[in-house]
Amino acid sequence: MTDVNVAIIGAGPYGLAAAAHLRRAGVEVKVFGEPMSFWQNNMPAGLLLRSNWTATCIAEYDGELSLDSFKAATGASFGSPVPLDRFIEYGIWVQGQVAPDVDRRLVQTVETGPGGFRLTLADGTSISASRVLVAAGIGLFANRPAVGAELPSELASHTGEHRDFKRFNGSRVLVVGGGQSALECAALLHESGAQAEVSVRQDRIIWLHGGKYQRMLGAYSGLVYAPTDVGPIGLSRLVAMPDLFRRLPRQAQTPLAYRSIRPAGAAWLPPRLGEVSIKLGRTVVSATPKDGQVQVTFADGEAQTVDHLLFGTGYKVDITRYPFLSPGLTRQIRRAGGYPLLGHGMESSVPGLHFLGAPSAWSFGPIVRFVSGGWYTSRVLVRAIAGSSRLRAASGAAPVPAKAGQTP
């Protein structure tokens, strides 16, 4: 049996950010997972990231692991919006800097054990860990509405289930949703030769301003806009401080969180949708198979037949869907709906078990749903796990990447 201090499940932006900061603070860390797997397997080719330059950085936005440092180190040439493939390359580069020893074996089960937890890997290996950080992402949380739940995958799917849309060339595809995922996938479908149409439940689409107000404010924009790039003017600064945001009454947190992450499309997207039909105020009430196609009926009684129904309906957190959490362990986790209730250091009601990323949004606000939320998460993990004295000693410098073959 191999013992580790901290086991991180997941090698995406949150897992890598946590590894970077904890290793710099001298904490023994072992990362499990395929690096950037969600971004490589569940995002369509050609996608552009909506977040601005700073908010697309993993672990830090102005240090040795930033996008600027990646470009300088590799000679990569790209700008904003950041293309998906470049972001994946960047993530793999970060992994090489901070977790070159990543263990790609699948973690099958996590159970409580002597001194902490016992992890069983796909090959049967058992590993004990004092702490477990769950940074397993949102791939298992795809929100597929009940109206299409019974349709087979060849007739209906979620935007998070496709690497490319070439298979839909010549097909009529109805995209349901009014946010970035639905709208950009509709553009990609059109560019792949599909006849795409978008059905939006709301009576309007919200288009982001593309940094217009930041440019207007110039040097003063930092007063009301945080580099995390989540939320509108003023509110951006509040949600970038989860320790403050979580002190608000729940009845205030909920509408403020929604205002920060409500469905919206990037300012650069409309020109790519010029030939895509977008219909507003339409709610799908039924979808049934018909002669190899899908017959869709809307709340106003209108019906149409399409070849495929694509749901751009986001993700709904439910940690019970993580297959590696044993039922006995899950029952011990205090939850609000599908979210774990977390305290200091993103720690759950099970001592030593922490949740990073979207599952921590109920406790820490909307910022942790995005890559830039990893900056805050990593800092509080260092405080909780390494101790405040080490945090003070480490302040003022970028995380020191772990060298291949070395344990910090």
What is the C-alpha separation between 58 and 268, in angstroms, rounded?
Answer: 23
φ/ψ of 273, rounded to 5, equals: -110, 10
Please say whether the beta carbons of 12 and 87 come within 8 A: no
107-113 and 116-121: which strand pairing?
antiparallel
What is the C-alpha separation between 129 and 123, in angstroms, rounded?
Answer: 18
Element (H, E) at 277: strand 277-279
Quick one: pLDDT at residue 395?
A: 40
Helix (H, G, I), strand (E, B) or coil at 168: helix
- Can you tell me the mean pLDDT for 42-62? 95
Task: Name the nearest CA neighbour of 98 among 167, 159, 16, 182.
Answer: 16
**What CATH architecture is 146-206+264-311?**
3-Layer(bba) Sandwich (3.50)
Task: Name the nearest CA neighbour of 362 among 242, 238, 231, 227.
Answer: 242
Quick one: pLDDT at residue 402?
A: 40
**Confidence band for 315, pLDDT divided at 50, 70 and 90:** very high
| Position 305 pLDDT exceeds 70 | yes
What is the C-alpha separation between 123 and 111, in angstroms, rounded?
Answer: 17
107-113 and 29-32: which strand pairing?
unpaired
Quick one: pLDDT at residue 396?
A: 40
- Can you tell me the mean pLDDT for 168-192? 97
Q: What is the DSSP string of 52-108?
A: -TGGG-SS-SSSTTSHHHHHHHH-----SSPBHHHHHHHHHHHHHHH-TT-B-SPEE
| Position 393 pLDDT exceeds 80 | no
Quick one: pLDDT at residue 148?
A: 85
| Position 33 pLDDT exceeds 50 | yes
Report in angstroms the alpha-carbon separations of 4 from 118, 204, 225, 303.
10, 51, 40, 58
Please say whether the beta carbons of 38 and 164 come within 8 A: no
What is the C-alpha separation between 229 and 82, in angstroms, rounded?
Answer: 14
Please say whether the beta carbons of 383 and 361 come within 8 A: no
Least confident of 54-58, 143-147, 179-183: 143-147
- Burial label for 188, CB within 10 Å (0-12, 13-18, 19+), is buried
pLDDT in tens, 322-366: 999 999 999 999 999 999 999 999 999 999 999 999 999 999 999
Residue 242: is the preceding peptide bond cis (ω within 30°)?
Answer: no
pLDDT in tens, 92-130: 999 999 999 999 999 999 999 888 999 999 999 999 999
Residue ranges, CATH 3.50.50.60, the chain: 2-140+316-394, 146-206+264-311
Task: Name the nearest CA neighbour of 58 among 378, 387, 404, 356.
Answer: 378
What is the C-alpha separation between 7 and 109, in angstroms, rounded?
Answer: 13
pLDDT in tens, 195-213: 999 999 999 999 998 888 8
**Confidence band for 17, pLDDT divided at 50, 70 and 90:** very high
The dihedral over CA atoms of 271, 273, 275, 281, expressed in degrees to the nearest 10, equals -130
Is the pTM for the entire model greater than 0.85?
yes
Q: For residues 41 and 405, which has the higher predicted lDDT (pLDDT)?
A: 41
**What CATH architecture is 2-140+316-394?**
3-Layer(bba) Sandwich (3.50)
